[in-house]
Amino acid sequence: MQLAKKGLVVKVKELKTDVAVVKDLEVSIGRISEETWAEPIGPTPFPSITDLREWDFKLLQRYKPFYLPFCDVCCLCTFGKCDLTGDKRGACGLNMAAQQSRIVLLACCIGAATHTGHARHLLEHLIEKFGRRYPIDVGGISVDVEAPVTRLVTGIRPKTLGDLEEVLDYCETEVTHLLAATHTGQEGSNIDFESKVLHAGMIDQVGMEVADMVQISAYGFPKADPEAPLTEIGFGVADVSKPVILVIGHNVPSSVGIIDYLTDKGIYNKVEVVGICCTAIDITRYSSSLAKIVGPISWQLRFIRSGIPDLVVVDEQCIRADALIEAQKIKAPVIASSPENCLGLENRTKSPAKEIISDLVEKKVPGVLILDPEKVGEVAVETVMAVAPKRKKFNVIPEVKEIIKAAQECTQCNECIRACPNNLPIPDAMKAAAKGDLNPFAEILENCVGCARCDSACPNDFPLHSFAIKAGEKNLIAEKFKIRVGRGAIQDVEIREVGGPIVLGEIPGVVALVGCANYPRGGKEVAEIAEEFAKRRFIVVTSGCAAMSIAMVKDEEGKTLYEKYPGGFEAGGILNVGSCVSNPHIAGAAIKIASIFAKRNLRANYEEIADYVLNRVGAVGVAWGAMSQKAASIASGFWRLGVPVIVGPHGSKYRRMLLGRKDKKEDWYVYDARTGDKVYGGPAPEHLFTAVETKEEAMVLIAKLCMRPNDTTKGRAIKLTHYVDLHKRLYSVMPDDVHLFVRNKADVPLTMKEEILKILEEKGWKERRIPDPTLLPRLIRKKKGD
Amino acid sequence: MGVKAEPWQTAEIAGPKKALLILKPEVVVAMVKRAKRPILIVGHLAAEDYSDDVKMIDYAIRMSRTATIPVVATAHMTTEFIKRGFQPAGWMPAMDIGNRLKDPEWKGLDGTGPYDLAMFMGLPYYMEFVILAGLKHFSKGLKTISLDRYYDPHASWSFPNLSVKDWNEGFKIILSKLGEK
């Protein structure tokens, strides 16, 4: 029996019959039920913001918040500003801990609302285009559990696009409640704020899953395909002899409109369509032959200023707020296509296409807002073909002599370096440039996140980011790589094959490299992490900008990682699941291991599945360049599910970590589900959320965080091998906590036996039992006295 | 030395409570001498900054040896210390040492009690900024010093923004007055 959250409501404005005229008739038929799913409903269908609070508290008891206030005051109401330093409270009574968790909740609400809004736009558009009864199909016969997150959270099994409307209704309701909790005079406890953060993350996962499910189903993206095609990525991929349309953002319908128009008109070989950020990933899922990827979000300014795009189409999310200004500099018209990002442009959705095209070509307007993806397609293509010959790739990249002249005038005031997130040595580069040497500027571009705060900071208004682009021009033009198109979901059969080895620890872990491009030292470090763990036979899963960065490194033979490693969910695989909204396929894989491999009930059974994942599935998320509020909510969705997340150093600015204390033995007890005994399970995983400084530190921590209390001795020995090996290689010493991860002598890797046994002896180590671990007393099968 | 209490990264504004400026190196010397349980936390940039001739890590080692201050190496800094023939007292992620320093119950690396002075160097500026903020708000009985050449407003005490030359000279005075031979 399937219970839908909402009943059937029929509204009739006016009904005329032979006997009567009825106005404003409303008939409600309660809840609709559907007899199609044998799995029993679990304890928490459509959970409210408090239904999973107990589970959250269990997590937060072990992984306590370490607050890192980015700001000492609160300025959210007119009582303020309030000084919250130390143990002071604001005028509303809130203290610093609660304020920090409140800000984290705000960030996660923004993230969850953004993905849910994205999903809503997609769903409405695709229902309008294909109808409510259009079937959901993310993998054909290879994927039976089509919506693991949605099933787990809501307890429904969606079959058609229309089934997802109530799922999004639920998400929207929850986000509203969560946001309400941040109002002055609402929640006062930091731990309850944290619980709500976890709820926001869970809702975010549902919203993302809906978004990706509907676009995979309706647009025919690769359906759980390990051999999804390779496509081109890089600054140099565009054929600049053709008119070039640049699409930026995350929500793909307007880009699909462009491809469809080109195809319908048979002119697909006359225009280049290239993209930046997740819209680029998704448009290549739609057409890997007609669309190309320029790069991650940090490539926006360098590509626009280069003058290559003849027209820019923006949709939503992660688009520079000055995209219109930058496009105007190179005389490229802009089409905004999302209600979330109108850029102050006139809404021309209802104007005839020819009029809009004429206005853009004649430069009567710098851009237009068009909220109709098909019309965007027509206007973009016809406009770019008319504009390109006039623009002649006009760009705003300075000539070398201009850079030298500016550098000679530079006062070395240091405002540029003080504005740079990565403290890049721009003043030194200016000194060198003054002597004609642009190499330091080229090096800067390698580690640049493309924010151009240096431009804004310069009191002389020197376009310093453009100086770096010019210096690195040759390298940029040579940028041509291969990326595997986003494959979407993980097949059920793949889960069956690897579920056992993962849970038993024989596949040492699943590493999910996700997130934005706010890297401390360029994107190549993401590729290095990916290859390190693929070589070690972990499963490496990736999405979004991280998936792009992984592609943008070649080996000596000119091959990228996607060409060297398989795209299957298997040991040693590197698989790109897709864009940001594809992240639930990664969470979904963990959920499906519990469901398909371990036969745990999935339906509305969140707590049990999260408990399973936390204690048994050695998965770790890494968001090396995490930047956005969406990245925060994505991470929090993984936390609630029991998957730890590591962020790069800039992630410390999320202002709160969730850290375990391995030195506090009492924090690491679990129930042995076989006996009900409380057993020391070891600090595994040690943290739920932490930021690290360097890629070396990340690698060591990834290997460590893959350990789980349930590992078999064989599995634990394999995991310890990787942890100890990486620690010794990168830290030059043995780990000082290895004794905490050895439960009995069979856990000790054979090749390291001598040195580890010596440590165990020094530490006074004692053998302990391997539990059937759970944090949930209700899962204990036999209690004492039974 | 400059005297402005401006954060190195322009927008990293803090306050109302901000670090006192270390205008004379002797302030550091006095703080170290007064401390019963000092500790020095050294991040990965200490092996890279500030120049070919002046590396923070070398000063950290000299300070540790001179004043018998235990060093915690963060990230992969153990490698750099060992290369230089120095064994740090411990190593752990920067977030972990921050989290422990916040805890008045933590007994320290040697298990004998909490620290009363934590000195930081070599972490990315913004990361040190937030960790010091965490300690400013949530630690008990702990003073912090930022030993980088940048003003870090969340420390109890911090150098102002300094040139490499000024920082170098200042640190030499600190070492000398701590009794380095």
How would you label A443-474 residue by residue, b for 16+ Cβ within 10 Å and e otherwise? bbbebbbbbbbbbebbeeebbbbbbbbbbbbe
What average pLDDT does the segment A752-768 reach? Answer: 97
Q: Domain check: are A291 and A406 in the same one?
A: no
> Is A489 contained in some domain?
yes
A474/chain B closest Cα distance in angstroms: 28
Domain residue limits at A139: 41-219
Cβ neighbors of A480 (< 8 A, separation 6 or more) are: A232, A233, A234, A236, A237
| CA A670 vs CA A165, A618, A677: distances in Å | 39, 17, 8
Report the sign of the C-alpha dihedral through residues B167, B168, B170, B174, in that order.
positive
What CATH number has the domain bearing residue A329? 3.40.50.2030
Nearest-by-Cβ selection for A68 from B11, B17, B133: B133
The answer to the question of residue A227 being in a domain is: no
- All residues of chain B having their beta carbon less than 8 Å from the beta carbon of residue A649 are 124, 126-127
Q: Give residue A785's pLDDT.
A: 62
pLDDT tens-digit readout, B89-118:
999 999 999 999 999 999 999 999 999 999
- pLDDT tens-digit readout, A104-115: 999 999 999 999
Site of tokens 């905490």? A740
Q: Which residue has the tokens 């890049």?
A: A424
Q: Which of A158, A192, A219 finishes a domain?
A: A219
Q: Which of B9, B125, B130 sits opposite A68 (nearest CB)?
A: B130
Partnered with residue A176 across adjacent β-strands are none
- In angstroms, the separation between the Cα of residue B176 and the nearest Cα of chain A is 31
- Cα–Cα distances in Å, from A516 out to A249, A575, A647, B21? 12, 17, 11, 36
**Is A786 a domain residue?**
no
Regarding whether A494 and A589 lie in a shared domain, the answer is: yes
Residue A170 lies in a domain: yes
At A230, which helix (H) or strand (E)? strand A230-233
Tokens of A75: 């300025």
Let me know whether A22 and A93 are in one domain.
no
Band of the pLDDT at B52, cuts 50, 70, 90?
A: confident
pLDDT in tens, A310-323: 999 999 999 999 99
Q: Are residues A161 and A268 in the same domain?
A: no
Q: Are residues A312 and A381 in the same domain?
A: yes
Cβ of B95 within 8 Å of Cβ of A67? The answer is no
State whether A332 and A368 are in the same domain.
Answer: yes
Do A146 and A247 sit in the same domain of this protein? Answer: no
Interchain contact A733–B (C-beta under 8 A):
yes
* pLDDT of residue A482 exceeding 90: yes
Nearest CA in chain A to B109: A663
Beta bridge mates, A671: A678, A774
Strand-pairing partners, residue A465, are none
Residue A646 and residue A704 in one domain: yes
Extents of the domains making up chain B:
20-178
Look at B136 and A652 and tell me if their CB atoms are within 8 Å.
no
| CATH code of the domain in which A101 resides | 1.10.8.190
Binary contact (B126, A67; C-beta < 8 A) = no
**Using alpha carbons only, what angle is made at residue B23 by residues B21 and B29, rounded to the nearest 5 degrees?**
95
| Confidence at residue B4, expressed as pLDDT on a 0 to 100 scale | 77
pLDDT tens for A603-628 read: 999 999 999 999 999 999 999 999 99
Asked which of A219, A245, A278 is the last residue of a domain, the reply is A219
Let me know whether A342 and A422 are in one domain: no
The answer to whether A96 contacts chain B (CB < 8 Å) is yes
- A569 and A647 in a single domain? The answer is yes
The token pair that represents A81 in the structure block: 């500003």
When the candidates are 3.40.50.980, 3.40.50.1220, 3.40.47.10, 3.30.230.10, the CATH number that belongs to B20-178 is 3.40.50.1220
Number of domains in chain A: 5
DSSP chain B: -------SSTT----SS-PEE--STHHHHHHHHH-SSEEEEE-GGGGT-B-SS-BHHHHHHHHHHHHT--EEE-TTHHHHHHHTT---SEE--HHHHHHHHH-TT--TTTTS---SEEEEESS-HHHHHHHHHHHHHH-SS-EEEE-SSS--TTSSEE--S--HHHHHHHHHHHHHHHT--
Q: Cis link prior to A653 (omega < 30° from 0)?
A: no
Of A85, A657, A731, the CB nearest to B91: A731
Last residue within a domain, chosen from A391, A424, A443 = A391
In which residue are the tokens 């699409």 written? A247
Using a CB-CB cut-off of 8 Å, the residues of chain A touching B11 are: 419
- Identify the band that residue B2 occupies on the pLDDT scale cut at 50, 70 and 90: very low
In a domain, A784, yes or no: no
- Indicate whether A649 and A603 sit together in one domain: yes
Please list every residue in chain A whose beta carbon sits closer than 8 Å to the beta carbon of residue B74. 693, 697
Residue position matching structure tokens 């000082």: A736
Q: What is residue A150's predicted lDDT score, i.e. its pLDDT?
A: 98
Domain annotation covers residue A785: no
Inter-chain CB proximity A661 and B15 less than 8 Å: no
CA distances from A546 to A362, A620, A624, B137 (A): 39, 15, 8, 34
Would you say residue A32 has pLDDT above 80?
A: no
- Whole-angstrom Cα distance, residue A345 to residue A122? 22
Q: Which chain A residues in 639-698 lie under 8 Å from chain B, judged by CB atoms?
A: 649-650, 652-653, 655, 657, 659, 661, 663, 690-694, 696-697
Q: Quick check: A659 and A687 in contact, CB under 8 A?
A: yes
* pLDDT tens-digit series, residues A494-529: 999 999 999 888 899 999 999 999 999 999 999 999
pLDDT in tens, A690-733: 999 999 999 999 999 999 999 999 999 999 999 999 999 999 99
Q: How far apart are CA B83 and CA A732, in angstroms?
A: 9
Confidence of residue B51 (pLDDT cuts 50, 70, 90): confident
A254 and A335: one domain?
A: yes
